[in-house]
Each structure stands twice: as structure tokens, then as C-alpha cells.
Structure 1
Amino acid sequence: MRTFAYLRPTDTDEAVALLASDPDSRYLAGGTNLVDLMKLGVERPRLLVDLGRLPLRGIDRTEDGGLRIGALARNADLAADPYVRQAYPVLSQAILAGASGQLRNMATTAGNLLQRTRCPYFQDTSKPCNKREPGSGCPAREGVHRDLAVLGASEHCIATHPSDLAVALSALDATLELLGPDGGRTLAATDLHRLPGDRPDLEHRLLPGELVTAVVLPPPLPGCRSAYRKVRDRSSFAFALASAAAVLAVRDGLVTQVAIAYGGLAPKPWRARAAEEYLLGAPAHERSFRAAAEAELAAARPLRDNGHKVALARNLTVRLLADLAAAARAGEDTPTGEDGA
């Protein structure tokens, strides 16, 4: 591991100033991804700015009934929060579907959003990778790509984004509060991550030195139900082959509100806008849900070994929305996030 400097600021302004002073520095929160990448030689910062002393762990109701989540709130605490479980079950389910209990006790909200891909070519410094070394190539396209992207990829990169939490936040229309050298700003969670295009090394839209300080959720819409489903190779501690977060409201048999986001299919959490547009005002039955999924997945461009992801995502969408619609009709609780499909 490369020798590095280590500093622990006590306020956000100091943290931002430290990171802005050196482009080869990194923020350290829970460290569950960054430290691993440093051990692998993928990340080699000169300076680590430890955020552990900053007062950014709160999980607080907002005046309008929404939620403000501190960037350093632990995943385990967020998943267990009573208001999150009651008002935003999709968020709690997504967190519990990711990693192990030990990792959730360390991982933070912002760190989870900004974790990097688990593409094996990215993590192996003996292999070329455009995300790690721009212009070096993407061997995954002709190599091992069973788990990689079918939506939003490019000839330069087919890596998938690994976060479950980010998928739920996309479906919930969350907003990020940011602090940088020039002050604060907000950014929609759906706009945080970039698609690879011809610059897969540019993964997000944070400005140099910017720090995520909080994630804000709008108030839950009356009558809406939400849930998260994840298909993976094993039931614990595995990244998604395909996952879906959905928010749905049904009235008189018609879809009145809907938001859908996919994980495991693209280089970023994938908001299914085409499917949502199809469903608004449509009958809340499986034929509509299947047609909506097919409208969204028409853009998929699978490679030799990952075409199964398209069928997984379609079937996952139908099952998840059908369960939410049934629960809405029956006035029952939302379905769990476990799925053995």
C-alpha cells in the first residue's frame, strides 16, 4: 500500500478545504470500499481526510414530513429507524439486502452512494480498464461479463454500479445536500452518477472538494406503497444480478403514482422513465406491468453472456408491482425485499 497522510478535521469547512488542497486526496467515512481498493492498489491517495469527527450522523424528520439523513449515518441505523421502516420501507429493505451486518454497522449513507464498481477488471490492476486507466481498453466486453451492464453502457465500459441504497433513493426522488469550496448546493440523487460514454473514469457529478453532507427525502405520498426486490446468486452478501425499487399508488384499479429504479443493470442506478410513463393511468394488472417493463428494457444491449439480465429484470418488475398493487387493494403491508427468483 502506498504511504499516505491522514488528517481528522472537526468541521465540514475544514474537511472541504483539506480535500480541495490536494486533487490526490480522498474522504474516508466507513472505509468499507475505499480501504479495500487501497489494498488492491486501485486507489492510491496521498491524503486521507477522515470524516469521523463531523456531526453528520443524524436521521431527522423534516417539517413537511420528509426525512433528512446525515451523510455519515450508518447503514444499520438507517435501516432500523422506525420512521424509515414505516414511511420508506423500500429504503430499509434495500439496505438490508446489501452486504453483511458487520459491514452495515460501518458503512455510511454517502459512502454507500459513492462506492465503486466491483467489475473484476477494474479491481485487478494487472488488467487494462478504462475506468481505472482511461484509454487502456475494456476487456470485459469480450471477457467475463455475466454480471455486467445491459443498459447505459458504452464500448468503453460495461461496469455496473453496486449500491442497493442508491437504487432506492433514486425511486424516492431523494436530493443531496453538498458543500464545496464555493459554498453549498443541492443535487438530485438521480443526477449524481454519470453514464460512462467515452469517459468512464468520470463516475459522478461532484465538483472537486465537494462533500455530501445529507440526503433529503420528500414526504411519502398518500396511498403510495414501496418495496425493494433483489435477485442474486446467493441470499447473503452478494451484489445484484438485477434489482428493482418501486413506489406505487393505485386508485379505482388504475395506477396514479409510480416510480421505478433498477440496480445491477447499468453503470448507475437506472430510473425507469419509459416504464413509468407507460404505467401512469394504466390498469394496475400484470399485463400493464409486463408491457411497461418491456418498454423500458427495449433499450437493453446485452452481450454474449448477460442476456439473462433482461428477462430477470422484466419478471422482477412484474412480480414487484403486482405485489404492491395487491397490497394496495387489500390495505396490507408492503411485501418484503427478499426474492429467490
Structure 2
Amino acid sequence: MKKHLATYWILQFTGWGLYCAGYIFLYLTILPWREDYFYAQLATHAISGLLLTHLMRTVIRRSGALDYPFKKQLLTVILLSLCFAFLIGLTAIGLETIMGIQDKRSVKYSFLNIVSRFAISYFQFVFLWNLIYFTYHYMQKNKQQKIDQARLESLLKELEIRTIKAHINPHFIFNALNSIRALVVEDPERARSAITQLSNILRNSMHGDKAEKILFEKELSVARDYLALELIRFEDRLQVSFDIDEDTLDHPVPTMILQAMIENALNYGINRNSSTGSLHVWSNYTNHHHVFGVTSSGSFREYIHERKEGIVKLQGRLDLMYGPDAGFGVIQTREGLIEAKISIPI
């Protein structure tokens, strides 16, 4: 960001410096007359141009014009060039009048006439400024999209190697990649964030091959990244909430276990119908146990039927790590609401 800003100011000062140098050259070599306030007038016009084109840049960035379709961008360039060429002329001539340094030959014309003449002259400079600015950002955007695409391809190759070992469902990976691929053009900033989230999940899943436990804080971070990616697909169909006791964040838990519970809730809850669903992640200490879980909408019968084998495996994993003191359970708290929770001794 700082690099781009430095480049911008270098180009700004260079451009308006060349503008001044060009007029000084013409004044000294070609123009047959001399003006009393030539250099003061030139400085007034250059400073007005510098400040107002910077203001124009702010308008472009805040309006989101850099993300417009090509035809709309071209129309925006023309309209902005017209408006700010007039503003530069108005500001420069207004300052000349206030400072008493206006050209004596122009006193026979009205103020608006002089401003209009200068606005017409300035239009070509402002239009060129806009073309350079929009072209630069178009090239930067294309460059970033190519980088994002390369990262996606690299990530996909890595995933193809690691999928067998991973603790996450490969269908989720490919769904996430498809969602990100769509965002690369529509919302590049969100696409970059999603790539980072998917990378975090992949990194933790690979770490899980070596470590059996992880701090709940890191496990929760993975779960948040997982849900952020799923929300791209579900959009407003899914309402997510958290209720986490901060004291539980430092307690170690089995790697990727919370993510697996959330995945089950999504696959056998909201994913089975088109209506809006909810998912609530919670964690607290109860009776010398760390109890955490996921409460979600869905069919309890389908959940138990489809995940019977997964439930047995999860309980077996807890038995091996903690013995009979740990437990996993799934209950229906009320019609259409499922609660899956794990209890681990402190």
C-alpha cells in the first residue's frame, strides 16, 4: 500500500513538474511577449491542478469507479475530466483575481469566459491524468488476479497430495475453491481473504497429522475460517452465532474436532433444505469438564442415521485419548433443533 502511494505522489509531482517545465520552455523560447506575473500564475495553476486531481483521486476511490465495467469507466473518466477541468480553471482564475496577478490582456473578458477557456485547455491534461490512473489500476488488478489464480492452482496441487491425510472432507475443499474462483472476479478482496482462510484450514489439518491436540483458541479460529468459507456458499440462508467462555480458550482439545462437528451440522441440517437455518457454537466449563458443542437446525433422525458411523469413530477417538471420563452426545433439544456436544475432563 505504501509503495503504491509513493508511486502515486512521484507521478503527481513529476507530471505537474513537466507541465510547468513545458510552459516555461514555451514562454522563454517561443512567446514574443513577457508577462509580469507569469511564474506566479504558473505556480497557482500547477498547485490548483495538483490539489484538485488529488481530490479527484479520492472521489474515484470512494465511489468505487475502479471496479466499474469498461463502458461505465470510460463515461466516468470523461465526466470527471470535464468537472475537474472546470474546477481547476475556476480555482486558478479565482486565486489570480484575489491575488491581483491576472493577465492584463484578459480583463476585457468576463470571469466565466476566462474560466471556461482555461477549463477547455485543462480538459486534455485531466483526461490524460485519468487515463493513466485508471490504466495503472487496471494493470494492477489484472496482476493481482493472476497472482490469486496462481495461488489457487498451487493450493489445489497441494490439496491433491494431502487430501487423503487431511481431517477435512474433500468435497468441502472443492466447494470452497469453486466459491473462491467465482469471487476472484466479483470481489477480489473477499477472494484474497477466503484464500487465506482456506490456507489456514489446510495448514491446521496437516498439523493434525502430527499433533493430536491443539488449544481450543486455535481450534475455534479454524472453525471460524471454515464457517466464513461456507457462508460464501450459503449466503443469507445461514445464521451463525458464538457463545464462548474465554477461560476455555487455553484448554487443549483434539485437533479438528470442532470443525468436524460443524461440518456434520451443515451437511445434515440446513444443507438438506432451502429454508434459513441456524448454527450456534458454544464452550464453557461445567463440573470440572470442558464442555463445547454445536447447536443447529436440522432433522435429528437424519443426523443420527447418516452420521452413525462418524459418531462411533468420534467417541472411539475420545475414549483412546481420555478414557471413560470424556463423552460425546447428540440430542434433540426441541423439534428441528440438534445439539452435539463433547465433554473433556480438565
On whether the aligned pair clears a TM of 0.5, the verdict is: no
Structure having the higher helix fraction is: 2
**Structure index of larger Rg:** 2
Higher strand share: 1
Q: Quick one: higher RCO (CA 8 Å, sep 6+), 1 or 2?
A: 1
